[in-house]
Chains A and B, each alone.
Chain A
Amino acid sequence: MDVLTLLGQLLNSTLVFSTALIFSALGGIFSEKSGVINIGLEGLMIFGAFAAGVGTYYAQEAGMGNWSPWIGIIAAIIVGVLGSLIHAVAAITFKADQTISGIVINFLAAGLTVYIVKLLFEGSAETPLIHAFQKKAIPLLRDIPVIGEGFFNAYPTTYLALILVALSYFVLFKTPFGLRLRSVGEYPGAADTLGVNVTRMRYIGVLISGALAGIGGATITLTTTSTFAHNTISGQGYIAIAAMIFGKWNPVGALGAAMFFGFSQAIRNYVQLFEWSKSIPQEFIFMIPYVLTIIVLVSAVGRSAAPSALGTSYDPGKR
């Protein structure tokens, strides 16, 4: 196998892991850019994965065929938004500690989804299998060396993720909405005195994060597991938070960070294909993605630039 094919394949494999992270990290960005910490990404992903499993199943039952996964995505968006609404109400309206209310989401999601699945499917803790998304190659682009195999023979969700990265960047940095959202995360007092409705912007930021993390969770159900169970999401939400910080709260940065995690994951798997890897204790191979991340952080990435007002509730009367 020549190096270029290999690279293309590694890249392709990278995207399997990173797509869900991209969505969720983007979600995190919208919330945190508006000044609301979102440690609840994990829970929101659980909600999304759950809704995709259930939604797609019923859509299939209703005979919607190939459209079913898209129904699943829509269900994930709706449920993700509803889940994040809890976070928004607690953190923004009731000025609860943002970290705490994020944790609440994680608890409620873990409990509610499995509970509902059991109610819906006669005690089964797993949703029935669904026909998930299939990879689609994009005709001409597919033939570009490395990139073609890497990016243009992928799931619809991967294309969607890449589009959303561009869209998010555009929305955040080129539109009035983005300017206002960021101002609210940097200095709500300033935004408020200019007539920007801090509460509303923050609600929107958090709800967008619910929608995006919901799609992130759905991606896992719809491209890797084909079913939702209690452990469909196990830690990806936290990795998405890491990707968001690693990417310095920038959509393109987050894309890079998510790809990096995916790539180091792919590397770790790839190593195992070689005979010589058998002489390395397995545990050290498993560590690769995590240790690699720390090494890259130490050597390349400097201080992170969190929005200044991140984690603070806004109270015009506060001095």
Chain B
Amino acid sequence: MNKWRKIFLSDNIIVPLVAILLGLLVGAAVMLIGGYNPIDAYRFLIKRVVGTPYDFGETIRQITPLIFTGLSVAFAFRSGLFNIGADGQVLIGMTASTAVALSWSGLPSWLLVPLSVIAGGLAGGLWASIAGYLKAKRGINEVITTIMLNWTALYFSNYVIRHFYLLKGQNRSEDIGASATMTFLGSTFSNARVHWGTVIALLAAVFFFVYLWKTKQGYEMRAVGLNSKAAEYAGMNVGTNVVKAMFISGVFAGLAGTFEVIGVFHYQSVFAASPGYGFDGIAVALLGMNHPFGVVLSAILYGVLTYGSAGMSFGAGVPPELIKIVIGSIIFFIAAQGIVRFVLKPFYLKRKKEKVM
């Protein structure tokens, strides 16, 4: 995909920005039709995000799992796999972290926190590897298996929580002790639930970049993703790479779950329906053009819009569903850049001769 490179080529940095603008305009139009005031709505959206240190911190909290799941989906894409299963991998990651944090709550923090993080990542990775293994060994399309594994993960997590860690009379696990939590800078953000996971998410993006483009294993993975036959010819083990790619993808997703538990909630709920982190991840990955740094940017955009949407409905009475229309439109315009270029043509872009590919 040379889309990413294109973005950094001067006139292309402008296209995503205009896409965002157009998306907001579509949202405004829909608001006007519904009889709402779009200017107020967007004003309150921004206010909700940057109005107070607390809200700013909460926005960061909102963005963090999006980075992880976005990276997860993007990493799989880069290796030629469509991981619809980040959702389940998040849940499994949560569950493993919760289990570790509650089972060994006596351990000191410096040991318990890393253990719980590792458990979450590993569990997410292994769960994803099931789909990878079935693809590699039996040629079973990962789209189906990951969908099925999502539901399986939902019920499996509920089973673990309800049968081993349930807080009596509640619909959630017991509380995770302070020794297993990862909050930081809480006071700076007026007790917003900011946690170390954000830093680790950014590191994960850097890892993604370095791994895929700077290491030999990443080179293999990209080769397998782009042309598995040639990879095989060159002596790479396609099956192993598929499993490995799913594993790493699952680790990212698992970590999203981990930090929701030990960073944000400090307990795990019994879910009646999937929390949907993974599906957000698909949108974030695609919006970020499957590039790690693109994912970070798109997670920020996505997080800001979703967190800010409450401000919109609070301040301007706009139904919160509207934000989905805005996000959908932005993705639409970013994907269909042709439209944006068309809109821009009279203003900026010199007509390009024949676009290749």
**A-chain residues with CB within 8 Å of residue B134 when the two chains form the complex:** 294, 297-298
Bound-state Cα–Cα, A164 to B296, Å: 45
Interface presence of B7 (CB below 8 A): no
* CB neighbors of A among B120-160 (8 A): 134, 138-141, 143-145, 147-149, 151-152, 155-156, 158-159
Bound-state Cα–Cα, A94 to B338, Å: 5
**A-chain residues with CB within 8 Å of residue B338 when the two chains form the complex:** 93-96
* CB neighbors of B among A251-293 (8 A): 281, 283-284, 286-287, 289-291, 293
**B-chain residues with CB within 8 Å of residue A97 when the two chains form the complex:** 286, 335
Interface presence of B34 (CB below 8 A): yes
User: How many residues belonging to A are interface residues under a CB distance threshold of 8 Å?
Assistant: 52
* CB neighbors of A among B270-291 (8 A): 273, 282-283, 286-287
Bound-state Cα–Cα, A306 to B140, Å: 12
A235 to chain B, nearest CB (A): 8
Q: Which of A103-111, A196-204, A220-228 lies at the interface?
A: A103-111
B285 to chain A, nearest CB (A): 9
B94 to chain A, nearest CB (A): 15
Bound-state Cα–Cα, A304 to B145, Å: 13
Interface presence of A119 (CB below 8 A): yes
**B-chain residues with CB within 8 Å of residue A298 when the two chains form the complex:** 134, 138, 140
Asked if residues A315 and B357 are in contact (CB atoms below 8 Å), the reply is: yes
Given A242-B143, A287-B151, are A96 and B335 also a contact pair (CB < 8 Å)? yes
B226 to chain A, nearest CB (A): 13
Asked if residues A90 and B335 are in contact (CB atoms below 8 Å), the reply is: yes
Which residue of A has the minimal Cβ distance to B88? Answer: A290
Which residue of A has the minimal Cβ distance to B145? Answer: A294
Asked if residues B357 and A111 are in contact (CB atoms below 8 Å), the reply is: no
A52 to chain B, nearest CB (A): 19
Mark contacts of B314-357 with chain A using CB atoms, 8 A cut-off: 1 yes-contact digit, 0 otherwise. 00000101111111110110111111000000000000001011
Which residue of B has the minimal Cβ distance to A108? Answer: B328
Asked if residues B325 and A115 are in contact (CB atoms below 8 Å), the reply is: yes
Interface presence of B162 (CB below 8 A): yes
Asked if residues B273 and A234 are in contact (CB atoms below 8 Å), the reply is: yes
Which of A94, A238, A291 is close to B84, meaning CB atoms less than 8 Å apart?
A: A238
**B-chain residues with CB within 8 Å of residue A105 when the two chains form the complex:** 328
B42 to chain A, nearest CB (A): 16
Asked if residues B139 and A110 are in contact (CB atoms below 8 Å), the reply is: no
Interface presence of B200 (CB below 8 A): no
Bound-state Cα–Cα, A86 to B327, Å: 15
**A-chain residues with CB within 8 Å of residue B337 when the two chains form the complex:** 94, 96
Bound-state Cα–Cα, A174 to B135, Å: 33
Asked if residues A99 and B286 are in contact (CB atoms below 8 Å), the reply is: yes
Interface presence of A239 (CB below 8 A): yes
Q: How many A-B residue pairs have CB under 8 A?
A: 145
* CB neighbors of B among A67-114 (8 A): 86, 89-90, 93-97, 99-101, 103-108, 110-112, 114
Taking each of A95, A104, A234, A303, which has the highest tally of chain B beta carbons within 10 Å of its own beta carbon? A104
**B-chain residues with CB within 8 Å of residue A302 when the two chains form the complex:** 138-139
Interface presence of A246 (CB below 8 A): yes
Interface presence of A241 (CB below 8 A): yes
Which of B82, B149, B162, B354 is close to A99, meaning CB atoms less than 8 Å apart?
A: B82
B249 to chain A, nearest CB (A): 16
A122 to chain B, nearest CB (A): 12
Asked if residues B162 and A86 are in contact (CB atoms below 8 Å), the reply is: no
B206 to chain A, nearest CB (A): 25
Asked if residues A318 and B155 are in contact (CB atoms below 8 Å), the reply is: no
Taking each of B34, B84, B159, B331, which has the highest tally of chain A beta carbons within 10 Å of its own beta carbon? B331
**A-chain residues with CB within 8 Å of residue B155 when the two chains form the complex:** 283-284, 286-287
Interface presence of B18 (CB below 8 A): no
Mark contacts of A111-131 with chain B using CB atoms, 8 A cut-off: 1 yes-contact digit, 0 otherwise. 110110011000000000000
Bound-state Cα–Cα, A312 to B34, Å: 38
Asked if residues B151 and A290 are in contact (CB atoms below 8 Å), the reply is: yes
**B-chain residues with CB within 8 Å of residue A108 when the two chains form the complex:** 324-325, 328-329, 332
Asked if residues A110 and B321 are in contact (CB atoms below 8 Å), the reply is: yes
Given A103-B282, A283-B159, A287-B151, are A241 and B143 also a contact pair (CB < 8 Å)? yes
Which residue of A has the minimal Cβ distance to B148? Answer: A290
Which residue of A has the minimal Cβ distance to B151? Answer: A290
Which residue of A has the minimal Cβ distance to B3? Answer: A97
Interface presence of A317 (CB below 8 A): yes
5 contacts between A and B (CB under 8 A): A96-B337, A101-B335, A108-B328, A111-B325, A298-B140
Ranked 3 nearest A-B pairs via Cβ: A107-B328, A111-B324, A96-B335
Apart from A118-B319, A119-B34, A306-B141, list 20 A-B contacts with CB within 8 A: A97-B286, A97-B335, A100-B331, A101-B332, A101-B336, A104-B329, A104-B331, A104-B332, A108-B328, A110-B321, A111-B325, A111-B328, A115-B34, A242-B148, A283-B158, A283-B162, A286-B151, A291-B148, A297-B145, A317-B354
